Amino acid sequence: MAAIVINGKEVAQQIQEELADKVIELKAEGIVPRLATLLVGEDPASQVYIGQKRKACDRLGIISDHQTLSAKITEAELLSIIDGLNNDPEVSGILVQLPVPEHIDSVKILDAISPQKDVDGFHPFNVGKFFTEKSFSDMIDKGLFLPCTPYGIMELLKRYNIPIKGADVVVVGRSNIVGKPITMLLLAADATVTVCHSRTRDLREVCRRADIIVAAIGKPKFVTEDMVKDGAVVIDVGVNRLPEGLVGDVDYVNVSQKASAITPVPGGVGPMTITMLMANTIMAAKNQAMGNK
């Protein structure tokens, strides 16, 4: 039997409708969420991503302030712009679209963003806060900034009623953006998590034990049918451009015949990433307003 398709577009739309209501409530209290985005250079893919984020802001009633900066801007000049946004009380969240030109240290740039406006959830302060929490529900209740893609994965699992507690989960990939944080979020939700990567021994056998596989290794169609046990849930985070079009890190056609549920590419995890960015921006506006009272 073919797998249930986990439709990220539909879930993202549902969450965005809920978030739009929250924005209306905040505006009634005089709180206006505002997201400042910075794009250094004119990378086509980055322009598309920024455009998608600005459109999401418009749909939800979030004010979007965008600056496209010269690829020749110095690191010091970019840091100065970020400092100005940090000190602007009307700005709720700040996002610097990656990648930045090679002459700019991306780590230094991301670290310069105020933790209170770090809606991407990349600042070491925010990473440390959620890494030390034991419970995923406590993270949400305390209004922590969670990295958007892992946060979106957790929402997909929740809204499709996929059990996490006690589940055997294999995460394929160990990046700071997806692999490591989704591991911590799953652990906080009481899953048993194994992290794999390109040097893992017997990777096929490790994956075959999993109730849930999260594929985030950045290699097209890397997870194949023989790596997935019957009835497993497969979450595909990858986005790879091939002559045939966009494909994920999972061999979707064949794995979908074996899994119980699977995310497609495109239309799976991707829409959730932008949606959780909006959720973090709204939360930032609320947190800052409460802090000023």
For residue 120, indicate whether it is catalytic: yes
Instruction: Tell me whether strands 245-247 and 240-242 are parallel, antiparallel or unpaired.
Output: antiparallel
Which of 118, 120, 236, 251 is catalytic? The answer is: 120
In a domain, 200, yes or no: yes
| Predicted model pTM | 0.94
In a domain, 277, yes or no: no
Whether residues 151 and 245 fall in one domain: yes
Three-state secondary structure call for residue 46: helix
Which of 97, 251, 258, 288 is catalytic? The answer is: 97
Whether residues 214 and 103 fall in one domain: no
Distance CA 204, CA 132 (A): 31
Domain of 239: which CATH number?
A: 3.40.50.720
Which of 22, 53, 117, 286 is catalytic? The answer is: 53
pLDDT in tens, 4-32: 999 999 999 999 999 999 999 999 999 99
Q: What letters, b where the CB count within 10 A reaches 16 and e where it falls short, cover 213-232?
A: bbbbbbebbbbeeebbeeeb
In a domain, 5, yes or no: no
How many domains does one find in the chain? 2
pLDDT of residue 1: 65
pLDDT of residue 290: 84
- Are 149 and 237 a contacting pair, CB within 8 Å? yes
Which residue range(s) make up the domain with 60?
31-115
Chain centroid, CA 266 distance in Å: 15
In a domain, 151, yes or no: yes
Chain centroid, CA 149 distance in Å: 2
In a domain, 63, yes or no: yes
Whether residues 45 and 96 fall in one domain: yes
Whether residues 265 and 167 fall in one domain: yes
Distance CA 216, CA 73 (A): 32
Whether residues 163 and 72 fall in one domain: no
Distance CA 251, CA 232 (A): 14
For residue 13, indicate whether it is catalytic: no
pLDDT of residue 293: 46
Whether residues 73 and 169 fall in one domain: no
For residue 88, indicate whether it is catalytic: no
Whether residues 104 and 154 fall in one domain: no
Whether residues 104 and 157 fall in one domain: no
For residue 101, give the amino acid letter.
P
For residue 153, give the amino acid letter.
I
pLDDT < 70 stretches in the chain: 1, 292-293
Domain of 105: which CATH number?
A: 3.40.50.10860
In a domain, 281, yes or no: no
Whether residues 152 and 39 fall in one domain: no
Give Cβ neighbours of residue 292 (< 8 Å, ≥ 6 apart): 89
Reported as half-sphere exposure (CB side, CA atoms, 13 A), residue 136 has a value of 19
Give the residues across from 194 on adjacent strands. Answer: 170
In a domain, 288, yes or no: no
